Structure 1
Amino acid sequence: MSSSAYTPPPDGSSWDAIAPAAGGFNAEKLEAAIAWAEASESPWPRSLYYPDGRYVGNVEWNESGPWSEIAGIVRPRGGPAGMILKGGRIVAEWGDTRRADVTFSVAKSYLSMLAGIAIGDGLIGSVDDRVGATVKTGHFDGPHNGLITWRHLLTQSSEWDGVLWEKSDQVDHFRQVGGAENNKRKGELRQRQTPGTYYEYNDVRVNVLAFALLQRFGRPLPDVLRERIMDPIGASKDWEWHGYSTSWTEVAGKRVQSVSGGSHWGGGLFIPTRDHARVGLLVASNGRWGSRQLLPEGWMAQSLEPSATNDGYGFLWWLNRGGRNYPSAPADSWFALGAGTNLIWVAPSQDLVAVVRWIDKAKADGFFKRLMAAAA
């Protein structure tokens, strides 16, 4: 992003907006991109439950059996919404961008930021430290789990073996996310591989990361996020981050809820589109907000390095290398992705940040195609 990017004032004040032409856009083509997003709403029911009572996640991921019970808060979703920022200023905005809406696995990228803060604070020495060296709860003991490093957790290559909050890691064995998904075998038991050698998108293992970070901070992660990120960037007071009814634990003598890295079984991060856009600006600026460096210097660059087991994935951020996820988006763009589809998208070469919510995943690339045509 441009080093001269505008930093919006705190929520409640006026966020600068510019006309499409001033941002280098063709106004008519930009309107067409927005119209596409609004007309391409996610097919998911707004209640997040189908008429037969099934939760959308269980249907989406072909999930049934002993670990499919919904354990967290579920609230009806809103409609399509989004923002497009050029140099930090609003070029376009649609839908209810102030609604605190569930965002599914975009929460994973928030965990990535918190991991960076933990390293900056010295709570974690290095991403290559073994988690069990400082998290003494028994979850990272033994010949297998004892090998797991923070890098493994952040790149979804940990192969953590166990049950957390009544969910077994087996629930997401053979799970596929992104590209041509085929989840017919999801939940079938497979042999765990050596930590760091095998990529698998696994929500239990991400929840283990959230639990481990809770142990290192010694206080609820939403409190840390609010103090270190959300308040400094002027976010609203409307966002919430929840875990499950089963994820209460004791930390420093207090009963604390460990949050989830998504909304696979309910719970998760409920947040306005405008707050997502602020976070997008923060990470696009390498963790800097105005004169303050909120994330450790170099953390975002490290987070966006292709991981050894999936070169389209960093530290819980998706990379668009080679246009592998969205062919119409720039190859150097990257994003936080949540089911539904929810996106925080950053295109550094275009000085753009976009938040797109509740677009049909089959139509998302069509939005980027139209957006980039408008910016040409």
Structure 2
Amino acid sequence: MKSILKLTLLLSVLGYTPLMAQDLHFPERNEPWKVAEKNQFIYDLQQLNKAVEFAKANEYSGSRDLRRAILEGFEREPFHEILGPTKKRGGPAGLILKDGYVLASWGDTKRVDMTFSVTKSFLSTVAGLAEDVGLIQDTKDKVANYVWDGTFDGEHNAKITWEHLLQQNSDWSGELWGLKDWADRPPNEGGLDDWKFRKLNEPGTVMEYNDVRVNVLAYSLTNVWRKPLPMVLKEQLMDRIGATTTWRWYGYDHVWTEIDGLQMKSVTGGGHSGAGLFISTEDMARFGMVFLNHGKWDQQQLVSPEWIKKATQPSVPNVNYGYMWWLNQKGPRHWEGVPEHLFYAAGFGGNFIVVDQKNGLLIVTRWLEPSKIGEFVKQVYEAF
């Protein structure tokens, strides 16, 4: 105990205060987030307000009718159509938290909206929970050893591991729920036939953002858990962090699978054909706090710190991407003037959960023009 006290004193003298779980605020269910008291933290309020005004002034330029925004945003995809629920969105909203205390908030933070590919970070977490309890032994295992119904048959697909699916570099080839992998986000250059009949990349070598393959991961995890993934997320995480009962995780309307004699919906990992996670800003913040606190909600370990560390490691083909979390490493998606240790969830229309474990900073922002996120986060940091 004396050595710990000496170390704490030394770190304090050096100007570093270690972040301890007891220093963080974790609101009870239905309890509002506490607003930081005056002088509780040292920051430039005027500069922080400037950042908030920037977020409010740079609303996502797409239609608030998300059905229309989706169809316009993905109009170049062959056969693209809305297959799952959508919802008209609200205006810009967000929270900036320091150690779990609110420094700033704007918009309707209780409103439930679509969150698109932020869903992927929740899906990744369901995979982490499966590894934590031993349902998946290791993410480097081949998925065909767990899912044997033909989804991973063939010379190419048989090589695919859980890690390849999580890092979106599997190049899984096939059709799921009537959707063909090659029809999802085809490249701008070359003809569609060139893309359709291309030579497949070796799993683990090339990242390709592709929702069909993400949905293959969701389907595979449904087989591993043997229950609907929204139920898994609710029981294993969301109930334990005091999330509201308002969030929903949808699949496509026609997608049902049978496991153990029970019909269940296989959910999506995004919303570019509808569906995905519908959630409030405040519940997104609760989820983010688990990752800020290395997998703990208050003193309760919900996700292993080993998983979070693994999930936020750069993948080989994309230094800015881990297990469905984006990383602020030096690379194509690097935000200048912002710490490189940040990681974040990101979704269509400007939905973000930004996590800074070292500084106890959590940012949730909704409906920010996506090209403005780097500048917004930089302005937030300029307040400190």
Residue 153 in 1 paired to residue 165 in 2?
Answer: yes
- Counterparts of 1:297-312 in structure 2, within 5 Å, are 297-312=305-320
State which drifts further: 321-330 or 197-206: 321-330
Supply the distance in 2 between the matched residues of 1:89 and 1:142 (Cα, whole angstroms).
51
Supply the distance in 2 between the matched residues of 1:150 and 1:330 (Cα, whole angstroms).
29
Residue 118 in 1 paired to residue 130 in 2?
Answer: yes
2:294 partner amino acid: N
- Counterparts of 1:195-214 in structure 2, within 5 Å, are 195-214=203-222
**In the comparison of the two structures, how many residue pairs are matched?**
362
2:275 counterpart (267, 273, 277): 267
Sequence identity (%): 41
Residues 29-52 of structure 1: CA distance to partner in whole angstroms, max 9, x if unpaired? 111111111111000111124xxx
Change (3 A) 1:186 1:350: farther
The corresponding residue for 2:12 is: none
2:52 counterpart (22, 30, 34): 34
Change (3 A) 1:40 1:19: farther
- Counterparts of 1:130-209 in structure 2, within 5 Å, are 130-172=142-184, 174-175=186-187, 183=188, 188-189=195-196, 190-209=198-217
Long gaps (5+) in structure 1: 50-54, 176-182
SS of the counterpart of 1:114?
helix
The corresponding residue for 2:101 is: 89
Q: Is the 8 A contact 1:157 1:199 kept in 2?
A: yes
Supply the distance in 2 between the matched residues of 1:263 and 1:185 (Cα, whole angstroms).
26
Supply the distance in 2 between the matched residues of 1:299 and 1:359 (Cα, whole angstroms).
29
TM-score (ref. length: structure 1): 0.92
Supply the distance in 2 between the matched residues of 1:135 and 1:10 (Cα, whole angstroms).
38
Q: Is the 8 A contact 1:174 1:200 kept in 2?
A: no
CA RMSD between the two structures: 1.7
Residues 59-117 of structure 1: CA distance to partner in whole angstroms, max 9, x if unpaired? 32453422x01100011011100001101111111111101110000000001111011
The corresponding residue for 1:351 is: 360
The corresponding residue for 1:17 is: 35
Deviation at 1:12, TM superposition (A): 1.3
Deviation at 1:174, TM superposition (A): 4.6
State which drifts further: 322-331 or 251-260: 322-331
The corresponding residue for 2:14 is: none
State which drifts further: 207-216 or 355-364: 355-364
Q: Is the 8 A contact 2:319 2:330 kept in 1?
A: no
SS of the counterpart of 2:40?
helix
1:57 partner amino acid: I
2:344 partner amino acid: F
1:2 counterpart (6, 16, 19): 19
Change (3 A) 1:31 1:204: same
Bigger Rg over Cα: 2
State which drifts further: 258-267 or 318-327: 318-327
